[in-house]
Structure 1
């Protein structure tokens, strides 16, 4: 079992995924979009969001790298691109405004359509988007086929369960923490995201240089 579970990667990936998911960040959106729902309907929306995010994230673990291969994209290049995306997400969370324009647009669109907004936009793209998929594929590349499912799958299940619990108890959490504390915690998560993004870009750059110009990095050092 030790070969199938990498504790270091698990903890690092769990922290990164929770920072991207940021359950507290989506609570105000969830409460706003479900304000006219009954308690049972709100619970149903929370469960659908949790299941949708889990399925998408696990799919990225299992076939994400294979999809890159179909398009001829190598992991170092994808690591750099994913790092840039995650850096943008983190920086938008650090800004003073309460909600990035893209998230606000998705929220407004969900109101206007008056359809089932649990999957779109609450699950996609407000909870899981390109940044989550990118970091999932990057981490899965570090592990063997069996280990990526056990290690990353376990982290995803825990992170998605936390997201689901956050939405199920959104009213209580919102009253307990208040808007100011939620904003503070969101910015702490944002700093973690920016750090993860910088590491992804630097690592991807070194790997790309080493792949195209073998020995150059070692010789330069």
Structure 2
């Protein structure tokens, strides 16, 4: 089994990728005409949906890669690029087009299912988070590794649920400036994670790089 720091690293990486604080302003806009009870229900559905999507991705990722004929090394490089694009958007304080587009957000204002689309998918459980859980599942073949990865995903989703349930309070306390500061800090952390993932993938694709 991997050292416990591997799972704390994965937890941190996944939390930063999901970046629930970046979802707070969008959550508040999409639910501006909702009651407190309705907002709570949206938060519940969104967190459960993210959990299900990421767990399914973790359990079926290997079969998906094999079916596409894609090596894990190539997937690491591709996933790292996606994460780096997300990180650059976060650092620049821009809407992340990898997660969701403005058109999707505008269309969602007329939907009753905003908890699933676009909030859970693809804003939270998007290409970056899905890539990360698939890569993590392949880091070890030990007996309890998969279980610990899923437990880490569940813990991240619990924190996500807490943030969404407190969205109104957090939005009022932190304000847009505070949320932007957190978003940029997360972007910096995510950039470092993305570079590490790409470096590991490139070393597998080109063993000569290891020296």
Q: What is the TM-score with the length of structure 1 in the denominator? A: 0.89
Q: For 1:103 and 1:143, how far apart are their aligned partners in 2?
A: 35
Higher CA-based Rg? 1
Q: Between Structure 1 and Structure 2, how many residues are aligned? A: 209
Residues 50 and 163, structure 1, Cα contact 8 Å, conserved in 2? yes
**Of residues 148, 155, 169 in structure 1, which corresponds to 2:166?**
169
Aligned to 2:40: 43
Report Cα offsets for 1:91-131 as digits up to 9, x if no partner: 0111144x2354433211201x4231110100001111011
What is the 5 A alignment of 1:136-175? 136-144=133-141, 146-175=143-172
Residues 140 and 152, structure 1, Cα contact 8 Å, conserved in 2? yes
**Once the 2 structures are TM-superposed, how far is the Cα of residue 26 of structure 1 from its aligned partner?**
0.3
**Of residues 6, 22, 27 in structure 1, which corresponds to 2:24?**
27
What is the 5 A alignment of 1:1-221? 3=1, 6-97=3-94, 99-101=95-97, 102-111=100-109, 113-144=110-141, 146-210=143-207, 216-217=208-209, 221=211
Report Cα offsets for 1:44-81 as digits up to 9, x if no partner: 10000000000011111111122101111110000000
Farther-moved stretch of structure 1 (59-68 vs 183-192)? 59-68
**Once the 2 structures are TM-superposed, how far is the Cα of residue 145 of structure 1 from its aligned partner?**
6.0
**Once the 2 structures are TM-superposed, how far is the Cα of residue 217 of structure 1 from its aligned partner?**
4.1
Distance change in 2, residues 1:110/1:187 (3 Å): same
Give ranges in structure 2 of 5+ residues lacking alignment: none
RMSD over aligned CA atoms reads 1.5
Q: For 2:124 and 2:6, how far apart are their aligned partners in 1?
A: 22
Q: What is the TM-score with the length of structure 2 in the denominator? A: 0.93
